[in-house]
Amino acid sequence: MVLAMKKEIEELKGELTIYKTALNNEMLSLRPKQQVMNVPKQEKFKGARSARDMDKFL
């Protein structure tokens, strides 16, 4: 009886390992691929800079 249970446990552990591996492989294939984002570049500042305006801003 004990030997039969030990054999069954070993078989179940083997199945569990197989299922875990299959699940991990599936999760890796479902991982979304990174997409390149096009971010517009800032335009150059075309005005006068003033420390007073900066103090007012802060």
29 alpha-carbon distance from chain centroid: 13
Q: What is the pLDDT of residue 38?
A: 82
Q: Is residue 36 part of a domain?
A: no
Domain range spanning residue 1?
A: 1-29
Q: Is residue 37 part of a domain?
A: no
Q: Is residue 2 part of a domain?
A: yes
Q: Which two tokens stand for residue 11?
A: 């078989």
- Which is higher by pLDDT, 48 or 19? 19
Alpha helices in the chain, H assignment, sequence order: 2-30, 51-57
- The residue among 37, 21, 38 whose CA lies nearest residue 29 is 21
Q: Is residue 18 part of a domain?
A: yes
* pTM for the predicted model, two decimal places: 0.44
Q: Is residue 15 part of a domain?
A: yes
Q: What is the pLDDT of residue 46?
A: 74
10 alpha-carbon distance from chain centroid: 34
Q: Is residue 55 part of a domain?
A: no
**pLDDT tens-place string over residues 11-45:** 999 999 988 888 887 766 666 667 777 888 888 87
d(C-alpha 37, C-alpha 8), whole Å: 52
Q: What is the pLDDT of residue 32?
A: 66
Q: Is residue 24 part of a domain?
A: yes
Number of domains into which the chain is organized: 1
